[in-house]
Amino acid sequence: MAIKKQRKLTKLEQAGIAAVIIIAGVYLYSAKVYNPMMAKRKIMQNKCNSLDVELRKLKDSPLNTKVFASLRKCQEEHRDAKIRMEKARECIAKPEEVLPLRAKVMETAGAYKLRRQEVGGAVDGKAEAVAAPKGQFSIGNRSAHRIVLSGSFSNVVDFLDSLGKMEKRIWVENISISLRDEGSALTVSMLLRI
């Protein structure tokens, strides 16, 4: 048996084989890789388009505009409440301001010609929370001070009015007014929260 010698491929045959390999590779890539990826891409593109349409409908729906309007209103109310809270904190006496404020109250009483009969320090020695009116927030703990003054009715009224005009807030928690004899001065006993 004689071994046949293999002949070399001509350039035309080599080019033909290369073309067949390239065509087969492109076909396989197209059938097995590109087409499935394109089908998935098309499905995802359709989902994106449908989501985009739904999003546009939501933006344009009256219900959504009501929700956003309600949300905006809530944000504005929250911002306003924070501003009111900061203003309220500014008018509340800090612990280190309580004694000077009490001294100012007594000075104001003297300016209205009210005589001090008794000035108590902190009644219970501790601060208590002051109940807030319905619908408002509680400001915090305040110390109680008992003050007994005597003077004319108009001076007492002017003094009480001046308490409301002070730079820092003072609560008149309890007030008792008595008259010993007709023509004598009123005696005013009050419990202040500072």
Domain boundaries, the chain: 95-193
Q: What is the mean pLDDT of the chain?
A: 81
Residues 142, 26: Cα–Cα separation, whole Å:
86
More confident: 135 or 98:
98
Cα 44 to chain centroid distance, Å, stands at 40
* DSSP-assigned letter for residue 97: G
Most confident of 27-31, 85-89, 150-154: 150-154
| Residue 125 backbone class (left: φ over 0; alpha: ψ -120 to 50; beta: rest) | left
Helix (H) or strand (E) holding 118: strand 115-129
Q: What is the pLDDT of residue 124?
A: 47
Beta-carbon contacts of 194 under 8 Å, excluding residues fewer than 6 positions away, are 93, 98, 101, 102, 105, 142, 143, 145, 168, 170, 171
- Report which residue type is found at 119: V
Whether the predicted pLDDT of 4 surpasses 70:
yes
The structure tokens listed for 109 are: 């009483």
Fold type of domain 95-193: Alpha-Beta Plaits (3.30.70)
**Sorting pLDDT into bands at 50, 70 and 90, what band is 129?**
very low
Q: Which DSSP string do the residues of 23-35 spell out, in sequence order? A: HHHHHHHIIIIIH
pTM listed for this prediction = 0.51
Phi and psi at residue 135, to the nearest 5°: 90, 0
